[in-house]
Structure 1
Amino acid sequence: MLTGTEILTTAQMRAIESAAMASGEVTGLQLMERAGTAVAGQIRLRWPKPGRVTVLCGPGNNGGDGYVIARLLHHAGWQVRVLGMDNSPGADAAEVKRQWAKIGPILPLTEAELRRRGESSDVYVDAIFGTGLTRAPQEDIASILLHMGGWGGDWAYYRPRIVSVDCPSGLCLDSGFFLGQSRVAGDLELRAVMTVAFDSPKPGHLLGLGPDCCGRLVIADIGLAHWRVTQRREIADGKALEVQRPAALTADWPIFDIPDNRRFALAGKKQAEWLTKRHATSDHKFGHGHALVLAGGIARGGAARLAARAALRVGAGLVTLAPPRSAMIDHGGPPDALMRRGIDDAATLDDLLTDGRITALCIGPGCGIDRATALLPSLLKSKRPAVLDADALSALAEIGLTDLHQGCVLTPHLGEFARLFPDLTERLGEKPRTGPAYSKLDAAREAAARSGAVVLLKGPDTVIAAPDGRAIIHSAFDVPWLATAGSGDVLAGLITGLLARGLPPLDAAATGAWLHAAAARRFGPGLIADDLPEQIPAVFRDLRA
């Protein structure tokens, strides 16, 4: 079943923690104890038999969490080695550091100490840097992280079991990239087998290199939910940010959210019932919408047929495939449920769109750039909900974004995004040196605000953003077989079908992305795009179970 959670930026998380402590109902030391207890508990669940653990404690509160973890694992029978810094941390971290010092030594946090012969451990706890990091690690800490990231002799062949507190040290939790390093994955990044974060996931857990480097992500409750609600209007930028994530990766936190204050309250049972037509507004086919998919010329029709089939499978009452009349012969095959209508030019499209029963359009898959350029003005003038994909995005890059409206959904991959928004893409390509680094989330939000349309920026970390700043992250790193020819055409069709059925653009894009990945996940490796629409009925049955 689909449930939901919010993501918090690092600034929002700090604001909530500050509000909690300012209330006098909880202290920073109590939050640190809760955080350390959560991590120690997860380690004991993962490795029930006590072993050898090295805890690397940084200079701030993340290091304080590490000292709590060390103390609790020691009491649970683990052999604990602690590496820390000779510094004066804040009062809370200083107190837990003092408590550990009564139990055991604090060895220097250096690469030489970490690599000391005969001191290898079963588990390494990375409590060096957490959410507060704003610049690239320097000097000794940088060398430790490089060593742990795989450049350290024996560790180049044996990656140890690393458990990270908040995030792998050096990762910017607002962007998913390592500060001071390339945005392309390499061997320098710290990769954890498990990351334990607190209260809510952060964007960097789901974007960029985050999912690969965090390993299994566990979100631990440390008692901040009350302040998250009461401070909602005061957190950093005031924008709601939601998340989609497959339960197949982890059941530690909810996987899907669409705000429930609009026409369709798509959450849990209500969402499943609506998607599977149990609460349809009409039993007539037009009551479920009519989608029009504009196809291309001869020998270019496969992509549009994939989109049209997906729109049918997701529940649109009617779907019409509209190629040029000369290409109608290409579209005579199944499914017979598809309607066909020849459209040669903008005037014919204008005439067809006088039919108010057409509730959504799709243009781009296999359409051809010249044809998309000719038809786009009529499509946009109609103000109908529409998905602009593939060739339509290339055409849009030529004619400009000025005629887009709030019913439009743009579905670019990064290459298409670069043609539409070259300046934003240039910012995405810069090496992040300070945090919060510019992220895919930032780029999608700016693109949506600039265009006035919903932007679905594709990838394993798909970001869906609305012009008003609302955004959704859909993480599909566990289904790499979705990177196959025609997969994007199916996604465009799913979104079009949901628009035709009456979903608002942001909701249609988010639900389409979730269904797209769920279908791929259900089929498994070996998937081709043709398989995706045929999995949708099974996904619906799973939702009803």
Structure 2
Amino acid sequence: MIGRKVLTVAEIAGADREAIAAGTPGAVLMERAGAAVAEAIAERFSLRPVCVVCGPGNNGGDGYVVARLLAERGWPVEVRALAPPTTPDAQAAAAAWGGELAAFDAPLNARLYVDAMFGAGLARPLSGEAAAMANRLAAQPEAVVAVDVPSGLLGDTGAPVGPVVIAGLTVTFHAKKPAHVLQPGHELCGEVLVADIGLADTPSNLIENGPDVWLAHFPWPAVNTHKHARGRLVVVSGEAWNTGAARLSARAGLRMGAGLVTVLSPSEALPVNAAHLEAVMLKGFDTEAELEQAAADVDAAIIGPAAGITENTLVNVLALARTGAALIIDADAITVFRDDPEELFSVLDVDDVLTPHPGEFERLFPGVLKDAPERITAARKAAQRADAIVLLKGADTVIAAPDGRACVNTNGSPWLATAGSGDVLAGFIGSLIAQGMESFEAACAAAWIHAEAAELHGPGLISEDLPGLAPAVLRRLYEGRVG
């Protein structure tokens, strides 16, 4: 899990200070950082002219180390200094470089550029020559290697505060920062390499999503497993003319491994659902009491996909909450509580999952996303307020738990921007919870698998494709579960 941790700028700075206090000079840490960048360049690029652009702080100091080490390897290197170095370690690194400095605003004629102007701690917009350089480098990101973060990007939010460098490769140290995993920073950084510079392990409850986060807890069936032991999942259908979304969720749940999946359908919608279901079972209900009885013995229940923004949906959510099943509340079942979110929160617990997109999030948590510095803080606040897992959808989906844990999904796929993909995600989450996976880990796993499945298909994807793509992702995970 160490490689998946995401640390704030302050946490990284604290780790630096602890290392220095323990006897590792700052100059040694700078040398290690510069060496990591130089090594990454040598491994990924053929010998070519390099221009290293150095700022006045320690990020610039790292750049001077990169320049010296590449030159010692025989690379043609020029250095451009935005301003003279201002910290003792950067001054020492500049002196060790010892070479000439090219004019900062001279034409750019190199084939590779190292951006070491400003690191993740930048708190103000780039201006003057720095802004002009950022704009020049942004025009050729494939030729740019950023040190720590691209200059102009806020390390704790992933948001630029003005002109910003765009990099093809970013080398950071010890751990990723929010800027590396949140959009638009994730895209602006290009490939991100985390280099170990000898800092002590730093605790964190923020992680980047990936199989190593949850694969050890994935509910693979044993040789003697039977369908009744693989979880019972129900999905509540909408009215007769709005049934497809629930069937998408149900099919997704079945593909993700739930042993028994049932669509609970209003009686008038039974014929429509029956005409389209095969392995997914079907059961009718007409009242909230009948729904509560039908879901009395299930492990997880999904409600919201095309449920309708009606009083019936509201009372059906409350009925399901009385069963003790883990709830996955999506779409209309979120919006129906917009006038009284506390009514929903009062019946939730930490096993339940809310899956809002930003618009639905605003309806339940007015102003929280707008007022937060970034999506991680917003999702955490929402999870604490609701006392449930919150999965805030987006290109950088954030999953947060009431205890402060948060996970950012970085494999988001643009092909998921199609009607019904969220219904499939709800089915994946519900299935994993029904099979006994802890809700936070289930939401993380489902979000990652959902995006991987979309990438397998690519252009032309529609939501109906996603359940059928999941087995290829599951096979890959199954084969990699050991070791």
Do the structures match in fold with TM over 0.5? yes
Alignment check: 8 A CA contact 1:409 1:453 kept? yes
Residue 30 of structure 1 is matched in structure 2 by: 28
| C-alpha displacement of 1:88 | 4.6
Distance 1:397 1:4, change over 3 A: farther
Alignment check: 8 A CA contact 1:6 1:242 kept? yes
Residue 456 of structure 1 is matched in structure 2 by: 391
Cα distance in 2 for residues equivalent to 1:276 and 1:526: 31
Residue 45 of structure 2 is matched in structure 1 by: 47
Residue 121 of structure 2 is matched in structure 1 by: 132
Normalising by structure 2, we get a TM-score of 0.93
Alignment check: 8 A CA contact 1:320 1:339 kept? yes
Tell me how large the CA RMSD over aligned residues is.
Answer: 2.0
List alignment gaps of at least 5 residues for structure 2: none
Q: What aligned pairs does 1:491-502 form with structure 2 within 5 A after superposition?
A: 491-502=425-436
Q: What aligned pairs does 1:299-378 form with structure 2 within 5 A after superposition?
A: 299-353=241-295, 355-356=296-297, 358-370=298-310, 371-378=312-319
Can you list the C-alpha shifts for 1:32-86, whole angstroms capped at 9, x where unaligned?
Answer: 111111111111222222x211111111110000000111111222222211144
Residue 154 of structure 1 is matched in structure 2 by: none
Distance 1:399 1:383, change over 3 A: farther
Cα distance in 2 for residues equivalent to 1:304 and 1:195: 42
Cα distance in 2 for residues equivalent to 1:454 and 1:257: 20
Cα distance in 2 for residues equivalent to 1:495 and 1:4: 25
Residue 14 of structure 1 is matched in structure 2 by: 13
Query: Of 216, 219, 223, which aligns to 1:275?
Result: 219
1:165 is the counterpart of 2:109: no
1:407 is the counterpart of 2:347: no
Can you list the C-alpha shifts for 1:337-371, whole angstroms capped at 9, x where unaligned?
Answer: 11111122212122224x33x11100001111113
Secondary structure of residue in 2 paired with 1:16: helix
Alignment check: 8 A CA contact 2:292 2:322 kept? no
Q: What aligned pairs does 1:464-483 form with structure 2 within 5 A after superposition?
A: 464-477=399-412, 479-483=413-417
| C-alpha displacement of 1:283 | 2.7
Can you list the C-alpha shifts for 1:461-517, whole angstroms capped at 9, x where unaligned?
Answer: 11000011001111124x211111111100000001111111121011011111111
1:421 is the counterpart of 2:365: yes
Residue 540 of structure 1 is matched in structure 2 by: 474
| C-alpha displacement of 1:203 | 1.4
1:243 is the counterpart of 2:240: no
Cα distance in 1 for residues equivalent to 2:84 and 2:36: 25
Cα distance in 2 for residues equivalent to 1:190 and 1:77: 27
Cα distance in 2 for residues equivalent to 1:319 and 1:241: 33
Alignment check: 8 A CA contact 1:289 1:317 kept? yes
Residue 190 of structure 2 is matched in structure 1 by: 215
| C-alpha displacement of 1:522 | 2.4
Secondary structure of residue in 2 paired with 1:361: strand
Distance 1:345 1:422, change over 3 A: same
Residue 335 of structure 2 is matched in structure 1 by: 394
Alignment check: 8 A CA contact 2:61 2:85 kept? no
Can you list the C-alpha shifts for 1:287-336, whole angstroms capped at 9, x where unaligned?
Answer: 11111100101121111000001111111111110121001111113442
Alignment check: 8 A CA contact 1:394 1:419 kept? yes
| C-alpha displacement of 1:4 | 5.8
Distance 1:3 1:367, change over 3 A: farther
Cα distance in 2 for residues equivalent to 1:3 and 1:275: 23
Query: Of 160, 163, 176, which aligns to 1:178?
Result: 160
The residue type equivalent to 2:187 in the other structure is D
| C-alpha displacement of 1:410 | 0.6
The residue type equivalent to 1:123 in the other structure is L
Residue 289 of structure 1 is matched in structure 2 by: 231
- Higher-RCO chain (CA-CA 8 Å, sequence separation at least 6): 1
Residue 452 of structure 2 is matched in structure 1 by: 518
Residue 376 of structure 2 is matched in structure 1 by: 441
Equivalences, count: 475
The percentage of counterpart residues that share the same residue type is: 41
Can you list the C-alpha shifts for 1:161-209, whole angstroms capped at 9, x where unaligned?
Answer: 1110011101112111012x4xxxxxx4321111111121111101021
Cα distance in 2 for residues equivalent to 1:482 and 1:394: 21
Secondary structure of residue in 2 paired with 1:337: coil
Cα distance in 2 for residues equivalent to 1:373 and 1:4: 42
| C-alpha displacement of 1:399 | 3.3
Distance 1:544 1:383, change over 3 A: closer
Secondary structure of residue in 2 paired with 1:106: coil
List alignment gaps of at least 5 residues for structure 1: 151-157, 182-187, 233-238, 245-254, 259-265, 429-437
Distance 1:316 1:69, change over 3 A: same
